[in-house]
């Protein structure tokens, strides 16, 4: 059993590989298909961008494809970087520059105003089918010093109060259990085997 995920983000690829291995699936990503085009993320919402990625690649490969559009919503920044999280500090994605920009924009903002949400929208698309859409959210606070070296992206700055750790200080297993992506996948699992059959 193989599942194709329309991502070129190595951090996401690693998380999905582990999540689906536990279900008995082998994960392939666009890193395994260098010949496929980059899908331009022209949507205005996570769902629009996830649909663009999943539906474009499903159409090309003629098989079911899952895509993830995710990002960090920072309350005091009116929701930025949001759908622009990957390219907050410009293109191509530079995680260190993104984190530095985030810290810079939050200079002087006190702890109680540093609340943020990681959001993940997953779209599962297949030729001639209505796509399946699920979402997951994860609440936290933006720290003042990066901590931890697991995960990817903004994880070293995303402090999870319940764990008293940043996302990058959590084990990969623990992050997958409680993250925005883990929660979205849990919802998908309730529905996708039925969806694939119909
Ligand atoms: P693909 O489109 O190829 O999947 P991408 O990185 O461009 O890769 P998105 O457009 O969905 O994907 O942007 C997601 C960005 O949000 C990602 O690059 C990180 O900066 C951030 N992000 C999402 N989930 C995260 C997580 O679990 N931990 C840390 N940062 C995350
Ligand atoms: Na992207």
Structural domain spans, the chain: 2-197
In angstroms and rounded to an integer, the radius of gyration of the C-alpha atoms of the chain is 17
Dihedral, CA of residue 192, residue 31, residue 182 and residue 130, to nearest 10: -30
Q: Based on the residue annotation, tell me whether 172 is a catalytic residue of this protein.
A: no
Task: Tell me, in angstroms, the distance from the centre of ligand 1 to residue 160's CA.
Answer: 18
Q: Is 13 helix (H, G, I), strand (E, B) or coil?
A: helix
- Residues of the chain where predicted confidence (pLDDT) is lower than 50: none
Place of tokens 């005091």: 76
d(CA 35, CA 109): 45
Q: What does the pLDDT read at residue 77?
A: 98
CATH number of 2-197: 3.90.950.10
pLDDT, tens digit (0-9, with 9 covering 90-100), for 51-78: 999 999 999 999 999 999 999 999 999 9
Q: Is 177 helix (H, G, I), strand (E, B) or coil?
A: helix
d(CA 32, CA 65): 14
Q: What does the pLDDT read at residue 105?
A: 98
Backbone angles phi, psi at 125, to 5 degrees: -120, 150
Catalytic residue among 32, 38, 69, 75: 69
pLDDT, tens digit (0-9, with 9 covering 90-100), for 3-15: 999 999 999 999 9
Element (H, E) at 180: helix 180-197
Q: Is 176 in the pocket of ligand 1 (CB under 6 A)?
A: no
Residues with CB in 5 Å of ion ligand 2:
86
Place of tokens 């009116």: 78
Task: Tell me, in angstroms, the distance from the centre of ligand 1 to residue 71's CA.
Answer: 6
């Amino acid at each position: 059993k193989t599942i194709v995920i329309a991502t070129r983000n190595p951090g996401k690829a690693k998380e999905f590989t582990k999540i689906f291995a536990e279900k008995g699936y082998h994960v392939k990503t666009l890193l395994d298909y260098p010949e496929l085009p980059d899908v331009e993320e022209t949507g205005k919402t996570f769902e629009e961008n996830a649909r663009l990625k999943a539906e474009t690649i499903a159409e090309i490969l003629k098989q079911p494809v899952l895509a993830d559009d995710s990002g960090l919503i920072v309350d005091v920044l009116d929701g930025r970087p949001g759908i622009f999280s990957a390219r907050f500090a410009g293109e191509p994605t530079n995680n260190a520059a993104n984190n530095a920009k985030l810290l810079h924009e939050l200079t002087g903002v006190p702890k109680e105003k540093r609340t943020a949400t990681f959001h993940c929208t997953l779209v599962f698309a297949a030729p001639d089918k209505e796509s399946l859409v699920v979402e997951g959210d994860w609440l936290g606070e933006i720290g003042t010093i990066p901590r931890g070296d697991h995960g990817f992206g903004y994880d070293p700055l995303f402090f999870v109060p319940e764990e008293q750790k940043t996302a990058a200080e959590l084990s990969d297993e623990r992050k997958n259990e409680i993250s925005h992506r883990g929660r979205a996948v849990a919802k998908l699992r309730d529905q996708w085997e039925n969806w694939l059959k119909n």
